[in-house]
């Protein structure tokens, strides 16, 4: 049995030498030193030995056990270190690999255009006045000199809500009355504001018209504001927006809330007026509706039209973005197609 013990010792030590993983180490431990391990089993046989041999065998067996346990502990440390080193090696980052790009969001082309407009108008002394998207029929039409059943209402196809008299604004012009009432000090203060915002029209969606779009309204009220002020202001704006040489023209038109009314064109900045696809070979591009604030509207805003006058205009940021970037279909704006949006 003593020989068996020595052989077991030699074999176990040799096996331990070959162990390189903690898993194999655990196996070796239970196979050798565990409760059902080889050493335990051999020790159980001690009763079968002649009495005089038992003491020697027991002593040797304990030595072997201790030696194996020590060897195990030493091996365990070694294997751990080895495994840690391997983990670090495998987990290493290759710093020469190209980095993974992170997608960065951008501003919507409409927002970009609006901000450009805010800058220009701010430099020219206009403050932003924010009106509301959900409007009363009265503000959107009646107070703007468009009585109920008046045929001029057909100019704006309207989204109605389930509440009678509450609609989605079809243009930013109702903000004129709100601004006059809120900032005008009962008709005693001059006003110079722009009113940006989304407008809604119950319209057939085509390449040129959407159900929703931005407008940027302008309003100036003072004691001596004349048509020449409107012309000069808009011309200056066009130069800042489209370049120092931008030519502007004013065409007579009709809006119920301005008198006289006009439409404003800029000379096509793509072809310089000679005619191209963008301006439909007209040489001119329409950028805004405008006019002198109608006396009735001034009165509705709290001003005495015999003392006060003003001009107003309404321009379309999406149209301007389309012209500037050669966008051929307005539906791209709210289509949320990244292939479109990422170009800006
Ligand atoms: N509100 C008009 C429209 O939507 C534009 C406009 C604004 C015209 C201000 C004159 C003055 O068509």
Domain ranges of the chain: 2-90, 109-341
100 vs 85: CA distance, rounded Å: 27
Whole-number Å distance, alpha carbon 17 to ligand 1 midpoint, is 92
pLDDT tens digit sequence for 280-319: 899 998 999 999 999 999 999 999 999 999 999 999 999 9
Whether 137 has a pLDDT exceeding 90, the answer reads yes
- Pair 158, 170: CB distance under 8 Å: yes
Residue percentage of the chain with pLDDT more than 70 = 100
In this structure, the residues whose C-beta lies within 6 A of any atom of ligand 1 are 171, 173, 217, 255, 258, 289-291, 312-314
Short-list 59, 75, 50, CA closest to 5: 59
Q: Which of 139, 168, 173, 210 to mutate to test the pocket of ligand 1 (most atoms within 8 A of CB)?
A: 173
SS3 of 49, please? coil
CA of residue 306 to ligand 1 center, whole Å: 23
At 284 the pLDDT is 92
Closest ligand 1 atom, CA of 261?
10
Q: How far is the CA of 166 from the centre of ligand 1 (A)?
A: 20
Determine contact, residues 168/202, Cβ cutoff 8 Å.
no
Ligand 1 atom with minimal separation from the 219 CA: 9
Q: Domain 109-341 classified CATH 3.30.930.10?
A: yes
Atom of ligand 1 nearest to the CA of 176: 9
Residues paired with residue 267 on neighbouring β-strands, in sequence order: 284
Phi–psi pair at 35, nearest 5 degrees: -60, -30
Burial 299-322 (b: 16+ CB within 10 A, else e): bbbbbebeebbbbbbbbbbbbbbb
The structure's pTM equals 0.72
* Strands of the 127-128 sheet, one edge to the other: 127-128, 191-200, 212-222, 309-315, 284-293, 258-267, 248-255
CA of 257 to the centre of ligand 1 (A): 8
The answer to whether 177 touches 146, Cβ cutoff 8 Å, is: no
pLDDT tens for residues 8-37? 889 888 888 888 888 888 998 898 988 888
Ligand 1 centroid distance, CA of 149 (Å): 19
Distance from residue 30's CA to the centre of ligand 1 (Å): 90
Q: How far is CA 10 from CA 2, 6, 23, in A?
A: 12, 6, 21
* Cβ-contact 130, 195 below 8 angstroms: yes
pLDDT value at residue 114:
97
Q: Quick check: helix, strand or coil at residue 160?
A: strand
């Amino acid at each position: 049995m003593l020989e068996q013990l020595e052989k077991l010792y030699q074999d176990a030590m040799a096996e331990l030498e070959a162990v390189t993983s903690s898993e194999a180490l655990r196996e070796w431990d239970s196979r050798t030193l565990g409760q059902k391990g080889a050493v335990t089993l051999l020790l159980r046989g001690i009763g079968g030995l002649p009495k005089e041999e038992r003491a020697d065998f027991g002593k040797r067996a304990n030595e072997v056990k201790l030696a194996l346990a020590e060897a195990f502990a030493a091996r365990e440390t070694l294997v751990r270190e080895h495994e840690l080193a391997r983990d670090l090696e495998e987990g290493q980052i290759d710093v020469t690999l190209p980095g993974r790009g992170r997608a960065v969001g951008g501003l919507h082309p409409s927002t970009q255009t609006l901000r450009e407009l805010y800058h220009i108008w701010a430099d020219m002394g206009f403050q932003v006045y924010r009106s509301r998207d959900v409007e009363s029929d009265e503000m959107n039409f009646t107070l703007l000199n468009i009585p109920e059943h008046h045929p001029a209402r057909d100019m704006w196809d309207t989204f109605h809500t389930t509440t009678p008299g509450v609609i989605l604004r079809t243009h930013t012009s109702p903000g004129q009355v709100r601004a006059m009432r809120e900032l005008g000090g009962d008709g005693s203060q001059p006003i110079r504001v722009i009113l940006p915002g989304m407008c809604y029209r119950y319209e057939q969606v085509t390449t040129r018209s959407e159900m929703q779009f931005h407008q940027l309204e302008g309003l100036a009220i003072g004691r001596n504001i004349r048509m020449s002020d409107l012309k000069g202001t808009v011309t200056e704006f066009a130069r800042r927006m489209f370049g120092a040489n931008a030519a502007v023209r004013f065409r007579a038109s009709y809006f119920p809330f301005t008198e006289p009314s006009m439409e404003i064109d800029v000379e096509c900045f793509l072809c310089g007026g000679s005619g191209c696809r963008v301006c439909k070979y007209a040489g001119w591009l329409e950028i805004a509706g405008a006019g002198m604030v109608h006396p009735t509207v001034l009165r509705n805003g709290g001003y005495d039209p015999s003392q006060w006058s003003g001009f107003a205009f309404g321009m379309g940021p999406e149209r301007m973005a389309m012209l500037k970037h050669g966008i051929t279909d307005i539906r791209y704006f709210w289509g949320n197609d990244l292939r479109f949006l990422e170009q800006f």
